[in-house]
Amino acid sequence: MLKINDRITIEDWELTEQFVRASGPGGQNVNKVASAVELRFEAERSPNLPDPVKRRLKRLAGRRWTKEGALIIQCDETRHQARNRDIARERLAELITRALEAPKRRIATRPTLGSKKRRLKAKKVRGEVKSLRGSVTPGEE
């Protein structure tokens, strides 16, 4: 069981861990020890997450979200299987915590008079620069 906050906990049946061989340095040890972990969280079927949180989690997860609605987190940072497992669980908890925060709605504001004038002045200056770039006649050289 993975506790996210006071209201949300992830049950063990929603998480699947698979241990695979890690890539990268480690010598002969890396070829015989499955220290990397692949944590699979069945987010779409989870009864503990509200729908808006699931939608935000899907957006945050990006390519780690599968077509079946599962979130896959891989970790092969350390040589220790148990430490990689803890890191993967921490990453999942952090991702869900970020998805719990509802984004603030943007309040539309009007541009100030000063910003309008600055924008028009910049356009005028740019137009003058471009107009001076005209073609050169043979007599002006």
Give the separation between CA 54 and CA 64, rounded to whole angstroms. 14
pTM beyond 0.85: the answer is no
Which residue in this structure is represented by tokens 């503990």?
48
pLDDT value, residue 78: 81
- What pLDDT score was predicted for residue 126? 96
Task: Give the pLDDT score at 120.
Answer: 97
Laid out side by side, the sheet with 71-75 consists of 15-20, 36-41, 71-75
Q: What is the pLDDT at residue 109?
A: 93
Output 7 or 111, whichever has higher pLDDT.
111
Write the DSSP string, 65-81: B-TTS-EEEEE-SSS-H
Which residues have a Cβ under 8 Å from the Cβ of 41 and sit 6 or more positions away? 10, 14, 15, 70, 71, 72, 73, 92
pLDDT tens-digit series, residues 19-47: 887 776 666 666 777 788 888 888 888 88
Rounded mean pLDDT of the chain? 84
Long-range contacts of 111-120 (CB under 8 A, 24+ apart): none
pLDDT of residue 26: 65
pLDDT at res. 27: 67
Does 112 or 44 have the greater pLDDT score?
112
Segment 125-134, tens digit of pLDDT: 999 999 888 7
Of 1, 33, 5, 29, the closest CA to residue 15 belongs to 1
pLDDT at 71: 87
Q: CB–CB of 87/77 below 8 Å? A: yes
What's the N-to-C CA distance of the chain in angstroms?
81
